[in-house]
Amino acid sequence: MYDISLKVSYVKGLVEGLEIEDEKVKRVLSEIISILDDMADAINDLKMTIDDTQEYVECIDEDLGELEDDFYDMDYEDDDYDEYDDFDDYDDDEFDFDDDDFVEADCPNCRETVYIDKDFLDDGKAECPNCKATIVFDDAENE
């Protein structure tokens, strides 16, 4: 990022060397260079933060790898991951919202379809989990 700061300094020197007589143009160019200088500083700060974060993540990855080796007591290779990706036991009906314990409603505020557990209804009313608006339910739906 030092390269960007160097280029901004070069442009600043070029503008100063032009000896611009029009004060308005000179002021505009000066402000643009000032903004570029601030941006170069911000980019440099971001790069330092990214480098620090990447180093930290690499350390965490190494520590996690050691923990996996210790805990699972096996070596993982890229080809071995397929045997652990068995999702055949997943039950799609586990989250069935047609259950009698839930009430379906369209929120009048955000227009999202929401499913509310009947235990959370308070006098036929409930709060929308998305927008926090009050949803009023018909008595027929609650029973």
pLDDT, one tens digit per residue, over 85-103 is 555 555 555 555 556 778 8
User: Distance (Å, rounded) from C-alpha 65 to C-alpha 71?
Assistant: 10
Q: Is the Cβ–Cβ distance between 83 and 72 less than 8 Å?
A: no
Structure tokens at 127: 């709060």
pLDDT confidence of residue 142: 47
Residue 63 is assigned to a structural domain of this protein? yes
Range of the domain at 131: 92-142
Q: Kindly state whether residues 10 and 52 are assigned to the same domain.
A: yes
Q: Kindly state whether residues 112 and 56 are assigned to the same domain.
A: no
Type of residue at 82:
D
The whole model's pTM is what? Answer: 0.42
User: Distance (Å, rounded) from C-alpha 125 to C-alpha 137?
Assistant: 6
Structure tokens at 23: 């004060």
Q: How many domains does the chain have?
A: 2
User: Distance (Å, rounded) from C-alpha 115 to C-alpha 129?
Assistant: 9
Q: Kindly state whether residues 64 and 104 are assigned to the same domain.
A: no
Q: Kindly state whether residues 68 and 101 are assigned to the same domain.
A: no
